[in-house]
């Protein structure tokens, strides 16, 4: 018998694969349990609806996204704030490009009326901390760290979305363009 964490992960992975391939509406609970290799009762033991799976996938996406970036940041010298920002930027761009299909599935219902999603806040908090540390060390001067974090995050998001839509999803080229743009914001 598999541990609960493995069964939940298998269900979520199956759901993610099916949602990407078929769409949310076309995917049934039967499809998910069949691909996961579990019974329908197992699905309902962990999730009441497909929407619950989407919420769990959204949380996992955000957690994995910020963990990947945090792991990369941990390899940077703590006092090299420009290198840390460049690492954050590269990590977020690469993670987004690598997982945009899942991102589009789990964040399909984003509405501007839901402006403060906890998933976005996790990323904004991570970037705000990074920018705040750099500001305290005089690596750059920001009148409002949180506003800068939001502008950088949303700007990065928009540029990557545009690159994906136009078929120019080269992470290195995107990071180079964004580094030039954001470098003008992050001045000492």
Q: Measure the CA angle with vertex 21, ends 155 and 8; round to 5°.
A: 90
Counting residues of the chain whose pLDDT is more than 90, the rounded percentage is 68
How much is the pLDDT for 105? 85
Instruction: Give yes or no: residues 29 and 98 share one domain.
Output: no
Domain co-membership, 85 together with 18: no
Residue 143 clears pLDDT 80, i.e. is over it: yes
Residues 109-135: tens digit of each pLDDT: 655 445 557 778 888 999 999 999 999
Q: What are 85's two structure tokens?
A: 């920002």
Query: Are 38 and 13 in a shared domain?
Result: yes
Q: Kindly report the CA angle at 29 between 108 and 60, in degrees rounded to 5?
A: 45
Geometric angle at alpha carbon 143, from 139 and 145, rounded to 5°: 70
Q: Which tens digit of pLDDT belongs to each residue from 37-48?
A: 999 999 999 999
pLDDT above 90 (res 137):
yes
Considering the domain boundaries, does residue 149 fall inside one? yes
**Same domain for 87 and 144?**
yes
88 and 178 part of one domain: yes
Looking at the structure, tell me whether residues 131 and 62 fall in a common domain. Answer: yes
Contact 152, 126 (CB under 8 A): no
- Given a contact cutoff of 8 angstroms between Cβ atoms, the answer to whether 106 and 54 are in contact is yes
DSSP assignment letter at 186: S
Same domain, 104 and 157: yes
- Quickly count: other Cβ atoms within 10 Å of residue 47's Cβ: 20
CATH of the domain at 101: 1.10.357
State residue 56's pLDDT score.
Answer: 92
pLDDT the model gives residue 169: 83
In the predicted model, what is the mean pLDDT of residues 123-151?
A: 95
Q: Are residues 20 and 111 in the same domain?
A: no
How many domains is the chain partitioned into structurally? Answer: 2
Tell me whether residue 176 is in a domain.
yes
In a domain, 188, yes or no: no
pTM above 0.85, yes or no: no
CATH classification of the domain holding 4:
1.10.10.60
- Domain check: are 88 and 179 in the same one? yes
Domain of 24? 1-48
Q: Are residues 36 and 69 in the same domain?
A: no
| Residue among 46, 18, 166 at smallest CA distance from 105 | 18
Let me know if residue 102 belongs to a domain: yes
* Residue 100 pLDDT exceeds 50: yes
**105 plus 43 within the same structural domain:** no
What span, in angstroms and rounded, lies between the C-alpha atoms of 170 and 180? 16
pLDDT at residue 113, rounded to an integer:
46
- Across 28-32, 116-120, 160-164, 176-180, least confident range: 116-120
């Amino acid at each position: 018998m598999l541990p609960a964490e493995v069964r939940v992960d298998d269900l979520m992975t199956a759901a993610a694969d099916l949602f990407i391939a078929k769409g949310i509406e076309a995917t049934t609970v039967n499809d998910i349990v069949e691909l996961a290799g579990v019974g329908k009762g197992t699905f309902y033991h962990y999730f009441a609806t497909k929407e619950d799976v989407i919420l769990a996938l959204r949380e996992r996406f955000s957690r994995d996204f910020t963990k990947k970036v945090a792991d990369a940041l941990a390899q940077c010298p703590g006092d090299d704030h420009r290198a840390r920002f460049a690492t954050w930027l590269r990590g977020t761009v690469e993670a987004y490009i690598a997982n945009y299909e899942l991102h589009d599935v789990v964040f399909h219902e984003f509405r501007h009326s839901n402006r403060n999603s906890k998933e976005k806040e996790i990323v904004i908090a991570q970037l705000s901390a990074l920018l705040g540390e750099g500001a305290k060390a005089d690596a750059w001067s920001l009148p409002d760290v949180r506003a800068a974090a939001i502008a950088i995050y949303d700007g990065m998001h928009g540029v990557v979305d545009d690159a994906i839509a136009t078929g120019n999803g080269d992470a290195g080229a995107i990071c180079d363009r964004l580094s030039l743009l954001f470098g003008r914001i992050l001045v000492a």
